[in-house]
C-alpha cells in the first residue's frame, strides 16, 4: 500500500468532524495504469462523454489492503460491492473510531 494513500486516509480522519461520514469507492485490483475514459458503456450520453474524455491515472488496491488501512482510522459502517456488471468495486461508508 503506497504511503501516499495511507497518509490520505490519516489526513481524512484528522479533518473529519465528529459524527462526520467519509464515503469512498474504489476499484479493486493490484497495480496502476493510465486509462482512456470514458468507455463506451459509461452512462450519461454524448455530452457527458465529451466532458470526461481523456487519460486518467488509476491505482488499484486489494480488498484486504483497503480494509487494513481504513480500519486503523475508521469504523466501517457499510461495505458493499458495486457495479457487478463492470469492474469489481467496493463502496465504503466510514465514521471516526
Cβ neighbours of residue 44 closer than 8 Å, sequence gap 6 or more: 38, 52
Q: What is the pLDDT of residue 80?
A: 85
The angle subtended at Cα 33 by Cα 62 and Cα 10, nearest 5°, is 50
Domain that holds residue 90: 3-96
Q: What is the pLDDT of residue 32?
A: 93
Q: Cα(44)–Cα(63) distance, rounded to whole angstroms?
A: 29
Q: What is the pTM of this model?
A: 0.76
Q: Which residues of the chain have pLDDT under 70?
A: 83-86
Q: Domain count of the chain? A: 1
Amino acid at each position: 500500500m503506497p504511503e501516499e494513500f495511507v497518509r490520505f486516509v490519516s489526513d481524512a480522519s484528522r479533518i473529519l468532524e465528529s459524527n462526520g461520514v467519509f464515503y469512498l469507492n474504489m476499484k479493486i485490483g493490484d497495480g496502476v495504469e493510465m486509462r482512456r475514459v470514458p468507455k463506451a458503456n459509461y452512462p450519461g450520453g454524448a455530452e457527458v462523454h465529451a466532458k470526461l474524455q481523456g487519460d486518467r491515472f488509476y491505482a488499484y488496491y486489494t480488498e484486504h489492503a483497503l480494509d487494513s488501512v481504513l480500519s486503523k482510522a475508521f469504523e466501517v459502517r457499510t461495505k458493499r460491492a458495486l457495479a457487478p456488471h463492470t469492474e469489481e468495486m467496493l463502496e465504503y461508508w466510514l465514521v471516526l473510531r
